[in-house]
Structure 1
Amino acid sequence: MGQSTGIAKGILGFPVAPFTETGRLDEQALFENIRFLVEGGLDAIYIACGSGEFQSLDRAEYEVMLDTAFEAVAGKVPIYTGVGGNLRTAVELAAVSAEKGAAGYLLLPPYLIHGEQEGLYQYAKEIFDNAPTLDAILYQRDNAVYSIDTVRRLTAYPQLKGIKDGIGNMELNICLTQEFKGRVDFLNGMPMAEVTMPAYLPLGITTYSSAISNYIPHISRLYYESLLAGDQSTLDDLYADVILPINRIRKQRKGYAVALIKAGMEIIGLSTRGYVRPPVVPVTKEHYKEMEQILAKALEKYPQKQKTP
């Protein structure tokens, strides 16, 4: 197995899909939100993935999201896309991603089916075969959990560059990192990944997707730098003040992995207005007020530094 040329490292930004009250994709809001992430120091943008309500987008909206991301990013950081769902659609979206110049894609789970490992292998293989120029990242979650043997087979494809973990099986993570270290890069993709990063760091996993970076990227950066520096005192404060309180709300209802991000963005003044598409439901008024209180205290204690003109 050859060495991976690597994928973007650090804190990964996963923009939401902002909708209007009538359910239309709000392109201007999306542009502003992505620009906010880039200016906030995120190391890559993953567009039209889980946080972007991939499952609710049609083909035209998907392309608009990609076009908007490229315009907003303006070449400053790499862009990856979400690819998945039913196989034919996944192949088409991988082709769209390649045409538009994405660095790679995150392979989301196939539609509905809990397949055998052979089925998961064939699913990934066909998409790899049809998008040979794009870096691919396997996403371990839900009905797509690739075994050691299946990953070993897929490493025959040089475009397999990463594995993102969204299930938290540390035994599997240890086995994967031990066998494929140097061949693929690993990402922590757990919901509210800041909660679990201290468990991933000893495995050499220093890259993760950050939900809270959508609205408080400077706190994401403070957390990341404190983690790498071993600054336990700052980490303890951030857990107590920000991370665990938000995580407690996130766990209250299904779909809050998306809806709570939009609520946080709305609270700090970004253009999203909290609208989501079913089956995701918006944040309740009670939880919204709790988020307002958490963020008010967080921004008071950890203010965003003003940029020098």
Structure 2
Amino acid sequence: MTNRQAPTGISGFPVAPLNESGAIDKQALTANIEFLLEEGLESIFIACGAGEFHNLGREEFEEMVELAKSVVNGKVPLYTGVGGNLTEAIERAKISEKHGADGYLILPPYLIEGEQEGIYEYYKAIVTSTDLNAIVYQRANAIMKAETVERLTQFPQVVGLKDGVGNMELNIELTQKIGNRLGWLNGMPMAEVTMPAYVPLGYNCYSSAISNYIPHISRKFYNALLDGDQQTVNEIYEDVILPINAIRRKRKGYAVALIKAGMEIVGLPVTNTVRPPVVPVEKEHYEELKQVLKSALQKYPPNRKVTI
């Protein structure tokens, strides 16, 4: 029987490492996923936003899902990213089912802003195409009102909602009306920044970009937040989260590129290489990140040895 529960805790979003010829670097991707599992992340979301979902061909997508399934091997829930063009979204949903993923995160449709009925029909078509769990994503041109989300809860496949908008009035309405029928995931860019506002509403999961390179600090932050340890929360904000977030906001696309830069800095086999229209992290900003990480790792040392 399918486990109709959305992931909780901290979710890992592997990147799409590229080799010198611009193809997916399988060895680096394996290392990325293994690192996240070793660090205790509660779920893996492959080929999603951080994995440059928008720029993956069908074969690359399938390659990444198949590899992730092999590496994760049932240790934690495995979700994929589907969305964009409806036909392709359904195709990728079926690929995810074929390779035994637990579910998928449904990203916004391509460009078009639909009415609520149109957005509902878009999600419905994908959700009902397989029996896998589905997490709907409030983001960009696909923002649902509470009534639309309620309609989608009639499908057992819909297990969660991820918010990437930050409209707290809407989030309160959603969580009050729907309650624990859905799992609630914070998907704001650098979710640690906003998680203190989400926890009281019932959000008990977030996607962590920094977990790709400093997962132990994300864990320390989240534990402190849940334990009411405000001093530790404040210190990690000041030392790590807000400085990295300030760099992230300097260029469009850094939400993806900065992850790869951070991974390269801490010695993971991923280079600061992305596909257009995302641009690599500029040298000046790369050095800024390096200094932030150097200080952070001195104050909050990881279990493994890292030399910067």
Please give the range of the TM-score, normalised by the shorter of the 2 chains: over 0.9
Contact 1:107–1:136 (Cα < 8 Å) also in 2: yes
**SS of residue paired to 1:12:** strand
Q: Name the CA shift for 1:184/1:247 in 2 (closer, same or farther; >3 Å).
A: same
**SS of residue paired to 2:220:** helix
Indicate which of 215, 218, 222 corresponds to 1:217.
215
CA distance in 2, matches of 1:306, 1:84: 37
Gaps of 5+ in 2: none
CA distance in 1, matches of 2:255, 2:282: 14
CA distance in 1, matches of 2:197, 2:4: 25
Indicate which of 251, 254, 261 corresponds to 1:253.
251
Contact 1:195–1:243 (Cα < 8 Å) also in 2: yes
Name the % identity: 62
Contact 2:28–2:269 (Cα < 8 Å) also in 1: yes
Amino acid at match of 1:244: L
Amino acid at match of 1:262: K
1:148 aligns with 2:150: no
1:185 aligns with 2:183: yes
1:78 aligns with 2:77: yes
Structure 1 vs Structure 2 CA RMSD: 1.1
**SS of residue paired to 1:182:** helix
**SS of residue paired to 2:135:** strand
**SS of residue paired to 1:275:** coil
Q: Which moved more, 1:161-170 or 1:67-76?
A: 67-76
Q: TM-score, normalised by structure 2?
A: 0.97
CA distance in 2, matches of 1:155, 1:205: 17
Amino acid at match of 2:170: L
Indicate which of 111, 115, 134 corresponds to 1:136.
134
Contact 2:7–2:183 (Cα < 8 Å) also in 1: no
Q: Which has the higher contact order (CA 8 A, sep 6+)?
A: 1
**SS of residue paired to 1:181:** helix
Gaps of 5+ in 1: none
CA distance in 2, matches of 1:201, 1:17: 30
1:68 to partner: Cα distance: 1.2
Contact 1:32–1:72 (Cα < 8 Å) also in 2: no
Amino acid at match of 2:91: E
CA distance in 1, matches of 2:199, 2:62: 35
Q: Superposition pairs for residues 1-309 of structure 1, below 5 Å?
A: 5-131=4-130, 133-306=131-304
CA distance in 2, matches of 1:74, 1:300: 34
Q: TM-score, normalised by structure 1?
A: 0.96
Contact 1:21–1:275 (Cα < 8 Å) also in 2: no
**SS of residue paired to 2:159:** strand
Deviation track 1:227-274 (CA, whole Å, cap 9, x = no partner) reads 110101111110010000000000111100000000000000111111
**SS of residue paired to 2:6:** coil
